[in-house]
Structures are given as structure tokens and as C-alpha cells.
């Protein structure tokens, strides 16, 4: 196990109930989301966020789910904050790797080449990427070419749409080029799910249903 690792199993009655619910539903869990909205570069929130994330990784392993997604926060310019954040992410990555899980940071704040460089510099194989093209579009980054930069790290995706410089919108109504994006994912060897995410709107259930049909019609 990685240095400092202490396995604390999740409460067994709750876990057994959760496993039973998943089995009875016939659903397959592709990922858990562990996001407190704090990131890992702020000294005020780092310790609590690491503890929370470690617990989420343990839960993912116990439930047989291979990915935990989260935002890691804006990468700071301050060398001390950057170093401390990278150390925390390394510990989480090694914890995840030991349990057969990947901790996948969501794309958005940084352009894909910069994110790839950051993850490579941390050096843990337990760290991956949750690729959200809408977040990249919203921040003016190339959501198609970005797949190539992060190809080996992509473990999960969000199928989400957004206008450049504008709000999130239903799939097919924004500036995400879904045919090119899904083609790039296939070329990169990604075979995981396209997880529909809808954060706004007054008819989210209906829009998710329509999003499923939209994705099924893609070449």
C-alpha cells in the first residue's frame, strides 16, 4: 500500500444495502462523483477535501466502481500552493491505484495540454481525466484537439453542451461538435460511457431523454 495508507472500510450494513439496491435495479455504476467544490490547492480546504475524497475512493472500490470524478480546482501560480496540491493529488492517486480505482479530474479550468502536463508532473497512475467538452468550450479551449492531449488519461466523460461564452444548453443546441468529439474519443481508444450531464433547465428529465436519442443517432 502507499505510504500513510490506512484502510477504513465503509459501514457494512449501509454498504450491503447499497450493493443490494444496485443489483436489484439492474444498473451498472460507471463512476461516483466526489466534489465538495473546494479543490486541492487551497490550504483552508485541502485536508478536509483529501479525507472526503479518500472515503469516496474507498466507497467506489467497495461498490465495484472503477472511477471517482471531481474538480481539482484552479492550478495556482504560487509555487507553495502548487506543490502542496500536487502532493495531495499524488496521495489520492496512489490510494486509488492501490484499490483499483482511478481518480479523474474534470476538464475545464485549464486547457488540455496544461492539464496533461500537470498530471504527468504528479506522476501517479491512479490519476485520470473526466473529459467534459462543454466546460472546455465555455472557457475557449479546443475540445476536439484536447482529446489527443489527454487520450491516455480519459477514464470518463460528460456528454454536455454549451454555447461559447454562454450558458449550458441541451445537447445539440450548443457549440460542442459531438460527431467530431465522439470520433476523437474512439480514435483515442476510449470505450467508456458518455454520461449525460444537465445542470440547468426546467425539464431536465425530458432533456436527458432527448439527449439519449441525440447520442444514439450519432455516427
Give the tens place of pLDDT for each residue, 134-189: 999 999 999 999 999 999 999 999 999 999 989 999 999 999 999 999 999 999 99
**Confidence bin at 1 (pLDDT 50/70/90):** low
| The predicted structure's pLDDT at residue 12 | 52
Q: What is the pTM of this model?
A: 0.90
Confidence of residue 33 (pLDDT cuts 50, 70, 90): very high
Q: What pLDDT is stored for residue 214 in this prediction?
A: 98
Enter the C-alpha cell of residue 86.
500536487
> Taking 70 as the threshold, does the pLDDT of residue 9 lie above it?
no
pLDDT at 7 over 70: no
Q: What are phi and psi of 214, to 5 degrees?
A: -60, -45
What rounded mean pLDDT belongs to the chain? 92
Give CA–CA dist 91/178, Å, rounded: 35
Can you say how many angstroms the Cα of residue 95 is from the centroid of all Cα atoms in its chain? 16
Amino acid at each position: 500500500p502507499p505510504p500513510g495508507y490506512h484502510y477504513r472500510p465503509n459501514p457494512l450494513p449501509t454498504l450491503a444495502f447499497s450493493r443490494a439496491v444496485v443489483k436489484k435495479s439492474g444498473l451498472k455504476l460507471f463512476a461516483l462523483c466526489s466534489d465538495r467544490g473546494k479543490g486541492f490547492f487551497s490550504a483552508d480546504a485541502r485536508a478536509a477535501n483529501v479525507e472526503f475524497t479518500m472515503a469516496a475512493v474507498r466507497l467506489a472500490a467497495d461498490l465495484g466502481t472503477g472511477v471517482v470524478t471531481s474538480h481539482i480546482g484552479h492550478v495556482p501560480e504560487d509555487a507553495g500552493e502548487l506543490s502542496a496540491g500536487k502532493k495531495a493529488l499524488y496521495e489520492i492517486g496512489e490510494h486509488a491505484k492501490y484499490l483499483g480505482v482511478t481518480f479523474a479530474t474534470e476538464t475545464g479550468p485549464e486547457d488540455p495540454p496544461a492539464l496533461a502536463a500537470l498530471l504527468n508532473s504528479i506522476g501517479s497512475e491512479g490519476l485520470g481525466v473526466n473529459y467534459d467538452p462543454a466546460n472546455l468550450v465555455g472557457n475557449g479551449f479546443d475540445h476536439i484537439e484536447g482529446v489527443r492531449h489527454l487520450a491516455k488519461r480519459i477514464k470518463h466523460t460528460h456528454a454536455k453542451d454549451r454555447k461559447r461564452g454562454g450558458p449550458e444548453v441541451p445537447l445539440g443546441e450548443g457549440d460542442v461538435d459531438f460527431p467530431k468529439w465522439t470520433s476523437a474519443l474512439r480514435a483515442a481508444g476510449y470505450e467508456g460511457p458518455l454520461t449525460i450531464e444537465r445542470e440547468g433547465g426546467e425539464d431536465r428529465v425530458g432533456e436527458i431523454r432527448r439527449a439519449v436519442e441525440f447520442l444514439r443517432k450519432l455516427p
